[in-house]
């Protein structure tokens, strides 16, 4: 019996995924849980294991193609079964396959269309012609009921956060009627509350007003010029999207402090062997993370977000650590970092960095950060001016640690020095508050108590 392989839902808000690479080819034998293909989503890249053992008989979605979650991307047949005929065994009818649970056996009479609703993709399937109880009749709903496919924009609106969907259910609002302002058109909490307050929940969303035309940039290259054009990878496109969003959202301001790492260097040399015995590397990043966590306790405004005209103070300190990958950047999160000592932070940093580079992170491990540390200094930069990781309001950049001549007690001395830069959202944080925050970190690092380890 053939088994469908589907695009998994790698998180509650993730609506689609892109096939980056097929690890196995048509005709290859595959064991259960053996890596089968690699995907890229809004949140994370990951290798997807095979749901069953057998032979990969058909690939329905080519590398580089993006499909909704729960779409069938391949078929695994029994051992010895012949591959499906066609070029490379790749079919062109993936969009016509039914949504199936991972590992579901393929039936001989599949229903038409891809059924996607605004609940979790793991919910029980129902016939495509039957509407859910209380489901609002809309063109998109009619399309689903008649077996048609759901457009990507409709899908993104449906795949909003659980909070948004709960509010929509309580107020009998069809999310598809709302023009989303979130990433990729997703409906945010602000969008749905504004929609409800406007009293237009029974009316279709009005088309967005036309935006003033921006002056077109000059040509990137001239005809006949010697250039090479390469499409952006999925990760590169997502990074570009988030960086443009951040630049357009927050008025960025920066402060840079120079910190003497003499005390940290001495403690690291003293404790490095003991930490390795405990199964963790003691790095400078661990010391910085500990000082940052202590500073965030003292300055809660830096651990906040902006929601319209409201300030949202985060009670948890979830520390993002930027990790450079071969073709991009990812920011895994250490949750409840304020509950960990230096050893716990060091273990968390090492574990997340290792799994980020081997593409073993889970989606929830790259979400929910409240503050981010990035380290351009590992590449030799004196300091960096990073963009804020939205919806956070600040980010710390760590410069290279190098020996410099400094004046100590009216004498010139050689000390390991490092520049720490704080990028912050000037809508919420003023220069004085940023200065106090950085001064606290500087004092902690220059006078680090061995008891804090």
User: For position 117, what pLDDT does the model report?
Assistant: 39
**Structure pTM?**
0.66
Tens digit of pLDDT for each residue in 95-121? 444 333 444 444 443 433 333 333 333
Q: Give the pLDDT band of residue 167 (cuts 50, 70, 90).
A: confident
149 or 76: which leads in pLDDT: 76
Secondary structure of residue 449 in the 3-state scheme: coil
Superfamily assignment of 250-452 in CATH?
Chloramphenicol acetyltransferase-like domain (3.30.559.10)
Per-position b or e across 239-275, b if 16+ CB within 10 A of its CB: beebbeebeeebebebbebebbbbbbbebbeebeeeb
Kindly state the helix (H) or strand (E) to which residue 396 belongs, with its residue range: strand 394-398
Tens digit of pLDDT for each residue in 196-237? 777 654 445 455 566 666 676 778 888 889 999 998 888 888
Q: Look at the alpha carbons of 169, 170, 174, 176 in this order and tell me if their dihedral is positive or negative.
A: negative
Q: Give the pLDDT band of residue 85 (cuts 50, 70, 90).
A: low
Superfamily assignment of 156-193 in CATH?
E3-binding domain (4.10.320.10)
Domain ranges across the chain: 3-77, 156-193, 250-452
Q: Which neighbouring-strand residues pair with 49?
A: 35
User: Does the pLDDT value for residue 138 go beyond 50?
Assistant: no
Active site residues: 426, 430
User: Does the pLDDT value for residue 157 go beyond 70?
Assistant: no
Q: Give the pLDDT band of residue 162 (cuts 50, 70, 90).
A: low
Decide which of 1.10.490.10, 1.20.1270.10, 3.40.50.720, 2.40.50.100 is the CATH code for 3-77: 2.40.50.100
**Lowest mean pLDDT segment, chosen from 112-126, 157-171, 182-196, 395-409:** 112-126
Tens digit of pLDDT for each residue in 239-255? 898 899 999 999 999 99
User: Does the pLDDT value for residue 329 go beyond 80?
Assistant: yes
Among 273, 272, 299, residue whose Cα is nearest residue 287? 272
Of the chain, the percentage scoring pLDDT greater than 90 comes to: 45
Among 29, 30, 4, 7, residue whose Cα is nearest residue 17? 7
Q: Is 199 left (phi over 0), alpha (psi -120 to 50) or beta?
A: left
């Amino acid at each position: 019996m053939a088994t469908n392989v589907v695009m998994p839902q790698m998180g509650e808000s993730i609506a689609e995924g892109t096939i980056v690479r097929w690890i196995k080819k048509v005709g290859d034998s595959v064991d259960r849980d053996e890596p089968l293909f690699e995907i890229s989503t809004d949140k994370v890249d990951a290798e997807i294991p095979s749901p069953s053992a057998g032979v990969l008989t058909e690939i329905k979605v080519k590398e580089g193609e993006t499909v909704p979650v729960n779409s069938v991307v391949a078929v695994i047949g029994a051992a010895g079964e012949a591959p499906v005929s066609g070029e490379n065994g790749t079919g062109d009818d993936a969009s016509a396959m039914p949504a199936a649970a991972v590992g579901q056996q393929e039936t001989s009479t599949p229903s038409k269309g891809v059924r996607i609703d605004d609940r979790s993709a793991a919910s029980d399937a129902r016939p495509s012609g039957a509407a859910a109880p209380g489901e609002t009749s809309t063109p998109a709903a009619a399309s689903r009921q008649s077996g048609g496919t759901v457009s990507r924009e409709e899908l993104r609106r449906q795949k909003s956060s659980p909070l948004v969907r709960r509010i929509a259910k309580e107020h009998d609002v069809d999310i598809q009627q709302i023009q989303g302002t979130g990433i990729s058109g997703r409906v945010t909490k602000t969008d749905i509350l504004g929609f409800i307050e406007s009293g237009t929940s029974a009316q279709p969303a009005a088309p967005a007003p036309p935006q003033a035309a921006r002056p077109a940039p000059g040509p990137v290259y001239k005809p006949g010029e010697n250039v090479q054009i390469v499409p952006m990878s999925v990760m590169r496109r997502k990074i570009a999207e988030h960086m443009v969003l951040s630049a357009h959202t927050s008025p960025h301001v920066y402060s840079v402090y120079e910190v003497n790492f003499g005390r940290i260097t001495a403690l690291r040399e003293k404790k490095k062997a003991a930490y390795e015995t405990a199964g963790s590397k003691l790095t400078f990043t661990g010391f910085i993370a500990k000082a940052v966590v202590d500073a965030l306790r003292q300055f809660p405004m830096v651990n906040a977000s902006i929601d319209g005209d409201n300030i949202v103070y985060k009670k948890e300190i979830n520390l993002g650590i930027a990790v450079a990958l071969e073709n991009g950047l990812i920011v895994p999160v250490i949750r409840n970092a304020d509950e960990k000592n230096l050893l716990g932070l060091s273990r968390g940093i090492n574990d997340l960095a290792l799994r980020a580079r081997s593409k073993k992170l889970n989606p929830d491990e790259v979400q929910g950060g409240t503050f981010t540390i990035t380290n351009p200094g590992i590449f030799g930069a004196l300091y960096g001016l990073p963009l804020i990781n939205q919806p956070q309001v600040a980010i710390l950049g760590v410069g290279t640690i190098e020996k410099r001549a400094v004046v100590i007690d009216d004498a010139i001395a050689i000390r390991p020095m490092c520049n720490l830069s704080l990028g912050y959202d000037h809508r919420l944080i003023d220069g004085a508050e940023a200065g106090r925050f950085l001064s606290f970190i500087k004092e902690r690092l220059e006078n680090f108590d061995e008891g804090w380890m």
